[in-house]
Structure 1
């Protein structure tokens, strides 16, 4: 590279990866969304759109055909000259790299609207259509391919053109909509499609080819440092621009020293702004720094914090210059980090000095915010800090406590938890460390800290336990740092799902309440009482599967809460997850808890099938069960899907590895538990009886509901119907099997001769007693168990 007559050597690649060009990616996403909206609205509201456009054109289209042709002539000349004017501008500006992309975008946009199943379509004219301008130029401009070509070319060349040119030319192109409405009755919907296609093609070409912002202004950086008295003779790329800045090492002529240049691209602004907004939305005000308006403000803040911390003598770099460069880039020049990285100098005696350096910052109400090991160096036995991207002057108590929690995690990973906690208390005192340790959670410790240290939830708990041990505290209540957590989001989603799936039931409420006037409430109360067998039986079975290691009382309460989680998630997966979570909180390991749940579900399936066969045999062959059997098409479709899924797990190595590594141990554990159950008759009988009570409890509740409305169905008949309905509920994609269960139960009762006037209200009452009422009770129980840290 030649700068002002001097040769400056550049070593390394400067090309930014495609995945980090956030501005170009955002442009492509917006173009894709606009194209999808245009196509969707054209398909859904095409006739309404045409009628609306024609009505507007009839109102504003006041020009005569002669006047329309003159307007079209003037606009047509301007719009036809536009691509040639851009081409001349590119040639004069010597943007040779752009010419190929410019031509490719135009050609691709035209072909995208020209290709038909029977080949490439020629332009379609409509000289014979009444009330249309008849000149060739006006007919040519009505072709959406011309609009698409211009939009693609403008999109590609826009970043390379002056802002004033770009605004005027886009305004000229978009003027086709009002001109169409004023001078003719041609509906501009197809022209809008051409605009959307052209923008999409141009955005895609820009992502591949790049924009001027991707060209690193090294010449400007060299000249800026020369004004600071540093004549750069060579540049070496240390890190490509991506999540962080482009980092270069620069050799200065004369003094033999080297400096580091950090160049921030305008492509990085989107990601930075989104991260700031996300932190503002999720964390409380005291947890986050004020928003930065631009990338330049971010860089300036970092440089100013480096100066302030450098004045305290605990910074490992010295800022040299901050300046704006061409094409929206910003440069931050500083000296290289002094000292040895902490990871390479993890001597036991250094831990106290690290905490002492942090105390120097906190005494001035300065927080660092990014206390990873690679941001800390050791120089002549002194601990020094670098980075300062997240540092704050005038930090809040929450930010200072976050620093202590971060450094506890970092030093515990480098040394050990007792040493880290002892050194922290020696510098800050027991009370301060105890308060800060409340933030030793996954939500409070930033992900970058946890990833570098390999800190898991168990690791954080270990450090927290060490703080309890050394401070003598009985318990450390974890700090809630987020405005909303994962559990709250999950509960909100479950409530929305519950309202959604309850809509079919709500529509039948008036009829249902009218039928309730004739019901025998003693039978209804009996149905509610016997439905408790479901929860008691499920709790007994799971308690036996967990070897009695958890409280049976709490397990029974959890089964009621489980109704909420199972009903508001498809196939009851929320209930399974809640059961496993409860067992883990009760002291079982993650694998053992999952195995216990899987064992209980396995025995439940076997028991369910066994009871179904038994009661079907008692019911006899006289009943019409065809309503329970899906059609052959559905059976073939389900079989085909299962075969495809099975083939995928066999053929795809990653899926096969996941199957062996994840499900293999659990299946082996279940089989081993089943073998152990065969040698423990009492435990096996308890599990089977619990599973049977779960099934028969629902059958008894439905039988009581039928009796409440005067039905005379036998218990054996009702049991068969209930078990088949339960099977459909587990297979239905709707949460809680809503819709499928009601239809199966009503159809099953009708197959056994129960009148519709009895079957419909009986099933609805049964669902109220066994589904909806427990769901609302389960909501409060789940919140109570959450507050007690049981789930």
Structure 2
């Protein structure tokens, strides 16, 4: 390369990978918003919009019919030729890799608007010129699929082509709106929809395929270094541009040291940087986040200034040479190479005390580093120095200082071991500061870059916390809350939203239900309520016996009521299982033991449920037709085939096999061992079976009492079968609490046994109030109380 009369040797590849810029993300968001506006406006204001278009067309449509036909003809030819012109432009500029994205965008846009209620309707474009030419062209101008295809391919091709071409082609495409008005015609609504769909498809393809990186202004970088007195004679690429900067090594014969590290940041090389900063501001508390960097230039300048400030303390491993704006939006940051060896390689020669003493000196000047990975620390003559400074802050808050101590605990524990790391930290900062910082040894509080720099972050933080407790004599370290919304608040919000969702179908039936309540026998309703309470006692007794009696029985009973809230507001009762496991863990059981106890109870519950179903079906089989409850042979074959397919996938996929052997096998083994122990303790086994049976039969008795409250006449055996079928559907239905599926199954089951709909519908609704909705509303405050008391 020749710059200002000097030959400069450049080695290494400057070819940059495809990038996904912030503009690409914003383009997709705007395209989605535009499509939403088009759909909503066409549905809400379509008639008014058509009238407005006709009035505008009457004002601006001043062309004669002959002139209108000529305009329509020439514009139609241009629109017909536009996709081929774009394709030729890509071929001429040799963007071969873009041809696949070009074709994919066009095909997807056409298919998206070809799907109808009757399937896919293919386009019927033809170039039969035997008729009028304007009639041939109108099939393209008025077809939203052609407009969508044009918008999609133009969006995909735009970033790769010259700006002048791109602007002219977009102007030509968007001209179909004023041209339709000029020729006194209404703009087809489906054409606007095609434009929106095409833009969205193109934006999505661009985000997936990536956009080209900008040309690297090496000559401008050389001139910027020359102005600083660094005459470059050779450039060598150390790392190509990508998510990070383009890094090069620059050699000079007239500068002290002779070499420099040159980092060149493109305008979009921190893709999503602004969005990430904004998300951190929204998610984290105000004291946890640094001020927003408005541009890449400001971010690079901040890093250089922090390097100068830390260098004045003698703690920086490099010094800046130049910061400059370059052509095409690039930013240059050149600095001297880092002094010393990486701390990873100097562990044997550098005591851990030196590392903590360097951090203490940095903090004494109110400077936080923010990125204390081992790769950002070097050792020179047994002195520890800092590098990076991208996340450093001058005049920082106490929060940033505590975060630094927590990060250094992670790094030094990984390098030197927990005992040495914590001892050195206490010697440098004191017990109170280390104890406060150790509250941040959690995944949310430690940045992902620091977590990724160690082999096993969870094990290291656990060891560090235990060592801090040991050396400070503290019993427990409470984790620091750094987010605006903690996990419990998010879970509670999701559960409340789910509760409103699942309650909506019930609320719509309330007026009819209340009209039927006037004829109900309230004594039977109260009996059903009392009977339904036995379910929770039985479930608590079963789980208490599965946990070997190590948990308080009365708290376990209250937890079963809270469990109703969690199970009803999550699909398939997953929340209930998680709540039970959490309660047992808080009660003193280990994680594996608590999981095993819950799994044991569920296993016995299933076996008891199936046994009771078989038992009562044998009694009811002679007097009722149960065939409608038995799936057809085709369904059974499909279920068996799906099960075999799942088994085959598990056996063939290595990760699935590993999960089966590492995660699932120990739990199955624990459950089997518990069954063996249960066989040796008949009283415990009997208590579990009795508790599980009470849960099932209590629900059946509650439904039977509800039927009696409305004057129904059916046997308890019949109601038991219907209830167990409904419970089975509740566990399999994807809706929270089985809402919809349970009611339909119970009403249909009662109808199968001859219960009139006038009795079955209000009875099932009353049953669901007694066994589902009342416990849900009582379960919410009980769950909060258990959480505040430390039981959850």
Distance 2:17 2:311 in 1: 34
- Taking the TM superposition and a 5 Å limit, the aligned residue runs for 1:219-258 are 219-255=219-255, 257-258=258-259
5+ residue gaps, structure 2: 115-120
Distance 1:208 1:14, change over 3 A: farther
Distance, in Å, in 1 between the alignment partners of 2:311 and 2:296 is 23
Change (3 A) 1:428 1:618: same
SS of the aligned residue for 1:531 comes to helix
Please identify, of 290-299 and 186-195, the stretch whose mean Cα deviation from structure 2 is larger.
186-195
| Contact residue 101 and residue 209 of structure 1 kept, 8 A | no
Superposed CA offset, 1:305-356 (max 9, x none): 1111111221111111111222222221111211121122224863222222
Alignment of 1:457-468 (within 5 A): 457=458, 459-468=460-469
Offset at residue 200 of structure 1 (A) = 6.9
Q: Which residue of structure 2 lines up, in the alignment, with residue 506 of structure 1?
A: 507
Q: 1:504 to 1:220 in 2, by over 3 A?
A: same
- Higher mean C-alpha displacement, 724-733 vs 435-444: 435-444
Q: Is the 8 A contact 2:110 2:148 kept in 1?
A: no
Higher mean displacement: 768-777 or 351-360 = 351-360
Q: Quote the residue 1:584 is aligned against.
A: 585
CA drift of 1:280 comes to: 0.6
Alignment deviations for residues 278-299 of structure 1 (CA, whole Å, 9 cap, x no partner): 1111101111011111111111
CA–CA distance in 1 between the matches of 2:347 and 2:201? Answer: 54
Q: Is the 8 A contact 1:357 1:383 kept in 2?
A: yes
CA distance in 2, matches of 1:154, 1:737: 45
- Contact 2:35 2:200 (8 Å CA) reproduced: no
Query: Counterparts of 1:68-467 in structure 2 under 5 Å?
Result: 68-69=68-69, 71-72=71-72, 97-98=93-94, 121-123=125-127, 134=134, 145=146, 148-149=149-150, 152=153, 156-157=157-158, 160-162=161-163, 167=167, 170-185=170-185, 187-189=187-189, 191-192=191-192, 195=195, 213-255=213-255, 257-347=258-348, 350-454=351-455, 456-457=457-458, 459-467=460-468
Question: What corresponds to 2:531 in structure 1?
Answer: 530
* Match in the other structure for 1:56: 53
Closer, same or farther: CA 151–498 of 1 in aligned 2, 3 Å: closer
Q: In the TM superposition, what are the counterparts of 1:368-767 in structure 2 within 5 Å?
A: 368-454=369-455, 456-457=457-458, 459-630=460-631, 635=636, 638-767=639-768
Question: C-alpha displacement at 1:432, in angstroms?
Answer: 2.3
Determine the C-alpha separation between the residues in 2 that align with 1:586 and 1:311.
55
Residue 119 (structure 1) shift: 9.8
Distance in 1 between residues matched to 2:44 and 2:526, nearest whole Å? 57
> Per-residue deviation at 1:180?
1.2
Aligned residues: 779
Give SS of 1:616's match: helix
Post-superposition CA distance 1:501-530 (Å, at most 9, x none): 211111111222233333333333332222
Secondary structure of the corresponding residue to residue 449 of structure 1: helix
Relative to structure 1, the CA distance from residue 112 to residue 425 in structure 2 (aligned partners, 3 Å threshold; closer, same or farther) is: closer
Tell me how large the CA RMSD over aligned residues is. 4.0
The TM-score normalised by the length of structure 2 is: 0.87
Higher mean Cα deviation, 471-480 or 555-564? Answer: 471-480
Contact 2:562–2:779 under 8 Å retained in 1: yes
In 2, the alpha carbon distance for the partners of 1:231 and 1:155 equals 42
Q: Supply the distance in 2 between the matched residues of 1:502 and 1:162 (Cα, whole angstroms).
A: 55
Distance in 1 (alpha carbons) for counterparts of 2:347 and 2:730: 59
Q: How far does residue 31 in structure 1 lie from its aligned partner after superposition?
A: 9.0
How far 1:102 moved relative to its partner?
8.6
Distance in structure 2 (CA, Å) of the matches to 1:138 and 1:707: 71
After superposition, give the CA deviation of every residue in 1:562-614 in whole Å (9 maximum; x if it has no partner): 21121112211221222223333334333333222222211111111111111
What's the TM-score once normalised by structure 1's chain length? 0.87
1:726 deviates by 0.8
Cα distance change on mapping 1:788 and 1:751 into 2, 3 Å: same
Contact 1:69/1:135 (<8 A) preserved: no
For the structure 1 residues 123 and 112, does the alpha-carbon distance in structure 2 shift closer, same or farther, using more than 3 Å as the test? farther
Structure 2 distance, partners of 1:196, 1:184, is: 23
| Distance in 2 of aligned mates of 1:657 and 1:459 | 24
Aligned-residue offset at 1:453: 2.6
Alpha-carbon distance in 1 for matches of 2:620, 2:521: 27
Structure 1: tracts of 5 or more residues without a match: none
